[in-house]
Structure 1
Amino acid sequence: MAKAFTDEDDALLEELGVEVETKRQGTRTPREERIIAGFEEIQRFVDEHGRPPQHGDDRDIFERIYAVRLDRLRGLPEALELLIPLDHQQLLSGAALAGVAGSDEVNDDELLAQLGVDAPPEGGVRELRHVRTATERREAEEIANREKCEDFATFKPLFQQVQKDLEAGIRQTRPFELKAEIRAGAWFIVGGQKAYVAEAGETYTTPQGRTDARLRVIFDNGTQSNMLMRSLQRALNKDDAGRRITDPVAGPLFSGEREHGDEASGTIYVLRSKSDHPLVVANREVVHKIGVTTLDVAQRIAGARLQPTFLMADVEVVATYKLFNISQTKLENLIHRVFGPARLEIEIKDRFGNPVTPREWFLVPLFAIDEAVERIKDGTITAYVYDPTSARLRMR
């Protein structure tokens, strides 16, 4: 026997963006079911827009259909008797009982005819076997209603930076879980595109007690949408590949001093090469290899003269920084991104005569590396990049 949902179950499903439908009790005629289904679509419109549907040439075609339909339901005694117990929004109570003359059937083809729209050949536009649900239609409409973001040039650098942060491990993608994760400044991946919540309007409560807000969402293809928070929530929940993008790592990334409970992760090491390569000889004081290792540094550089990554030459250790509780790979990627503009472009031969281009050597003075380590400690490094012309870190 199926277990009935409790109020707590409904609340949990609601938070997860799953809409719960209550099974109707009793037997109704197909006509009654159609009347109720049509009225429920009007109710969902009111939930979303906070007002009843209105007439007018400037209104969306669906809103105009709902407005005509509501007028007819108000004038149909059979419909009133059926729907008033369901009318929690007071759409029918107190309404004038003067309907459309000569009509006792809620016919969507006639509604379209009144609006000057040709009905489809296969029947009414709202027949459930031909038409998507209201939720599916709203989601499709919001996607279709995306418009060009006129000030996308303002946001493009943010998208570029987020991509770099993802590649460096500063940000990560996580499965979307709760509506509370949707806020101004948040990043998501939905429909295969990065989405940035640039603005979030004031949160309000629908008649059903659900919270919602109007958002301005910018997409990485240069479009934008003024969608509802709940619509973005539904889109993320329906998208198997939908993800939230985490905020950058905040606070100190590591400390040079070990604290109680810390676990050692490794060491940043800075090496100077003893290679006789002309490019190295001419710039020896500023040519440095910057790496991260979980091994003892002496063990890491053993046999350096036989390894292309060390330029097939012995090396000198000029600085080390002990790490605690931090990912070696992510930190190394971060450091290499910061000093990327000063990467040493050099090609050497390995011991078999094959050409190799090492990627961990940089034309950077030691004091700039020290500054970078301090900014890693205080968590501000993500705002900086190395400027080769001034030989210093600068704000992005």
Structure 2
Amino acid sequence: MADISDDDLLAELGAAPEAKKQSTRTPREERIIAGFEDILRFREEHGRVPQHGEERDIFERLYAMRLDRLRAQEDCRTLLREFDRYGLLPTPPAAGNDEEMDDDALLAELGVEPIGDVDLTELTHVKPRTEVRAAEEVADRTPCVDFETFKPLFARVRDDLDKATRETRRFGEDADVKQGEFFILGGQMALVAALGDEFKTDYGRPDRRLRVVFDNGTESDLLLRSFQRALYKDDAGRRITDPNAGPLFGGAADDEDLASGTIYVLRSKSDHPDVAAHRDLIHKVGVTGGTVEARIAQAALDSTYLLADVEVVATYKLFNINRTRLENVLHRVLSPARLDLTIQDRFGNPVKPKEWYLVPLHVIDEVVAKVKDGTIRSYEYDPSAAMLRRFS
């Protein structure tokens, strides 16, 4: 049987072969259609037309500008009418130059410098939006007109750092940001000078505008979340600790210091066998806003004091400090050495007194010194070695 060609088979079936349709569109028209199809795909994926704005993705901004140009040119609207299934083009032409702009020109309009012959879908010459935004958050600063007001504050903080009454900590251990706090961002010291009113973002999250003053004489009105994000992403971002504004301990205070109370260290005169055997090591550590004498006046009748008289072995005067928070810190540091002792109160009920510790007096002195230099939160007492140890 003789071979039959495809054309002969089609003729036998009564079907004439169609001549291949030749494209009559110019390369420019093909490029315009391809660009419009990108816009249509964006409309399908996001349910809206691409929009302008610095907060938008680079491609969305590119598509928005391209759509403006297509709407402004009558020949483009005519060419694309059969593809415009969402009715994007009937919008009145935007004012401006009707001259066609290629992708490089569009990128230039967006402030992006094209490099060589690169596919627009490959962001080889465009920084990720998160990186661009982070840079904008840090770099968008203006001169601080009243910097002379803040200059002495920065000088004082530097002096505190030199004297080790302040320290820097990696941001993230505590991500909270309050007015009056100092940070290090981008290698510069930053002061949160003011907090604006809180508002809700589009995602329902609380945020607020900050006034952040930098030690180089500039300032920025960053959003709180932007400031936190910039600190967290900066490998050198640091929080500068607060030394509690004034001398913590000492016999004399400055005129402007407010007395807050006293740390007291007591030794019990109880004849309980366990207490008597370790009397020189067992100490009660507390904080009071009044006099120590008034605090211990009824010690022999109070199970808190082991139902016995006590002697005061050390006191440390406090200035400008939160007594409750300090007492909590002291008890946390000494908790591994807390005395495990049960006694009976005046009514015969079992009681486990707190705030008594098996710890030498010289260690308590060291604890107070760590409170004074602001490093106490990094330490804990090690009973096996009878010394303070820094957290790893």
TM-score, length-normalised on structure 2? 0.47
TM-score, length-normalised on structure 1? 0.47
**Using CA pairs below 8 Å that are at least 6 residues apart, which structure has the higher relative contact order?**
1
